[in-house]
């Protein structure tokens, strides 16, 4: 193994857990993790966390090979954590073949991380269509090229595909393609983690057992 000069030292010199952790009593948490998530989300928004709705979505393919990428959270409710994908993209194909996922939020300003995992279920067509129609025109055009995650080698081809998508949208401004799918991660496990510079991290782990939430603290 050839090490690259200085990288190990560069990494070791970087600070971590330097945010300001809010008050958090792991004994005083709601029974439902959705409630705690929304409370932490509101704190993140109020504290000016940058893009708190950006989350890492991890999926697996049929061979068990994992992949992850950042995506925008669209909603959270009793059905779960909602996001939308192009069916033909890598994540879209993986979710169709293996309907399970894990979400990771990291809010460094608050030294907080949240992990959610469980099966995914497609939302109704109406919900997916409403999500699509609420997207800016440029995002809708790009989605209508229906080629996300394919090999790319020509800007001219992309320009052409976008021009076609623009025509499609002009012909039908209410167009919502069936390959735009909204999913919800139905939580089976949710973990709230608040970091501590002394490494006495506070961790609360919720798990759904026989349809009821149980929770435990985890060793830091
Ligand atoms: C902050 C941020 C937000 C993103 N939001 C989205 C999104 O809402 N939808 C999307 O398809 N890709 C989004 N991306 C790009 C994805 O991370 C990813 O590159 C893309 O969806 C292709 O992933 P795939 O090849 O695994 O399907 C975002 C990336 C970042 C960094």
% of the chain with per-residue pLDDT over 70: 100
Query: Which atom of ligand 1 is nearest to 67's Cα?
Result: 26
**E-assigned strands of the chain?**
54-60, 66-72, 75-77, 80-86, 100-107, 112-122, 180-185, 189-194, 202-209, 212-217
Query: Which residue's C-alpha comes closest to atom 31 of ligand 1?
Result: 70
Residue reference for tokens 């309907």: 99
pTM of the model: 0.95
**Could you tell me which CATH number the domain at 16-217 has?**
2.30.110.10
Centre of ligand 1 to C-alpha 160, Å, is 22
pLDDT tens track for 56-93: 999 999 999 999 999 999 999 999 999 999 999 999 99
Q: pLDDT averaged over the chain?
A: 96
Centre of ligand 1 to C-alpha 55, Å, is 10
Q: How far apart are CA 21 and CA 49, in angstroms?
A: 12
| pLDDT score of 78 | 94
Residue 1 — very low, low, confident or very high, per pLDDT cuts 50/70/90?
confident
pLDDT tens track for 13-35: 999 999 999 999 999 999 999 99
Largest CA distance in the chain: 60
User: What would the mean pLDDT of 1-15 be, rounded to a whole number?
Assistant: 93
């Amino acid at each position: 193994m050839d090490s690259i000069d200085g990288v190990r030292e560069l990494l070791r010199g970087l600070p971590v857990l330097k945010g300001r952790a809010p008050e958090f009593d792991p004994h005083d948490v709601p029974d439902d993790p959705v409630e705690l998530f929304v409370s932490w989300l509101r704190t993140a928004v109020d504290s000016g966390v940058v893009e708190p709705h950006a989350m890492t979505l991890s999926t697996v393919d049929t061979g068990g090979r994992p992949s992850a990428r950042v995506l925008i959270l669209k909603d959270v409710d009793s059905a779960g954590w909602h996001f939308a994908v192009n069916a033909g993209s890598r994540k879209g194909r993986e979710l169709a073949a293996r309907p399970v996922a894990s979400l990771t939020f990291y809010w460094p300003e608050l030294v907080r991380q949240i992990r959610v995992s469980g099966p995914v279920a497609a939302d109704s067509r109406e919900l997916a269509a409403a999500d699509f129609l609420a997207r800016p025109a440029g995002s809708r055009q790009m989605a209508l090229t229906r080629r996300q995650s394919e090999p790319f080698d020509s800007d001219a081809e992309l320009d052409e595909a976008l021009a076609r998508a623009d025509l499609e949208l002009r012909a039908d401004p209410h167009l919502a393609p069936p390959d735009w799918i909204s999913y919800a991660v139905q939580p089976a496990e949710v973990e709230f983690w608040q970091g501590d510079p002394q490494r006495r991290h506070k961790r609360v782990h919720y798990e759904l057992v026989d349809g009821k939430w149980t929770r435990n603290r985890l060793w830091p």
